[in-house]
Every structure is written in C-alpha cells, then in structure tokens.
Amino acid sequence: MVITKTISLQSKGHCDIIDITPQIEQQLAETDISNGTVTLFVSGSTAGISTIEFESGLLSDFQDMWERNVPKDIPYNHDRRWGDGNGYSHVRASLLGASLVIPFNNKRLALGTWQQIVLVDFDNRPRSRQIMVQIVGE
C-alpha cells in the first residue's frame, strides 16, 4: 500500500531549522499502514532534510558548522552568473541531501527519544516549502 501526503510550511530561510516530526507522526497515524517506510523529499534545491536533537544550543552549532564549511561570504560562480546571492545555499543543500527515509514498526517510527526530523532551509530569504511524504507498507 502506498499513501502520498504533503507537508506545506513557511520557513524564514537563512539556515532555519524546522521540526516536522509531529506532522509526520500524525500523517502516519491517519493511515492503515502498520509497518513500512516513510520517505520524505523536499522539492527545491536550497533546502535539505535530516535528523537532530532539537535543542537550541545544538541548532546554532549546526548552523555554525555550515558557516565554517560552506561559508556565505566567499565568491560563488552561481552568484556571478545569476545574481541570486544564494550559491552557498545550493551547495549546502546538495551536501545535506533532499531526502530521508524512516522505517516504522507497529506504527512507531525508528526515531530515538532525542532525535527529531527537520527541514533545513538554506536559502537567503523566507520560502514556502513542499515536502512529499510517501508512506509505503502494509
């Protein structure tokens, strides 16, 4: 059985990290599927999906890591050609990855207690985001 859902949300951009665990748990609860996988995929090339302990100190640590390793304030060829100023956002998103797959058993996602599912929006402006949520199982 395959169920397709969507999460729509508004981000602030600038490495905004949004906890989407509650929406996914609710969408899973609404299905008749007990065992299987939830596949998440964010449309767009300046955002990514991962898991993190959703604690404000750690969120800022994660943002600092991106600034150190894929800095905003170095020249990007993408910006020279297109003037969007978000070359760093694209590079970060391609490294983090647009998709995440989480298995579940007896309706329970395989997440740890301190492990939340997050959208990370690397763009340099607020964005409306669509995440496809595909639930496959039985």
Residue 14 or 98 having the CB closest to a second copy:
98
Closest by CA to 121, choosing from 50, 58, 61, is: 50
**Of 7-15, 22-30, 60-68: span binding a second copy (CB under 8 A):** 60-68
**DSSP designation for 108:** E
- Kindly tell me the number of DSSP H helices and DSSP E strands found in the chain: 4, 8
Backbone angles phi, psi at 107, to 5 degrees: 70, 0
SS3 assignment, position 127: strand
**Of 8-16, 19-27, 37-45: span binding a second copy (CB under 8 A):** 37-45
Determine the Cα–Cα distance for residues 108 and 130; give it in Å rounded to an integer.
24
Subset of 72-111 contacting a second copy (CB under 8 A): 76-82, 87, 90-91, 93-103, 105, 110-111
- List residues near a second copy by CB under 8 A: 1-2, 4, 35-37, 39, 41, 43-45, 50-53, 55-58, 60-62, 65, 68-70, 76-82, 87, 90-91, 93-103, 105, 110-112, 114-115, 132-134, 136-138
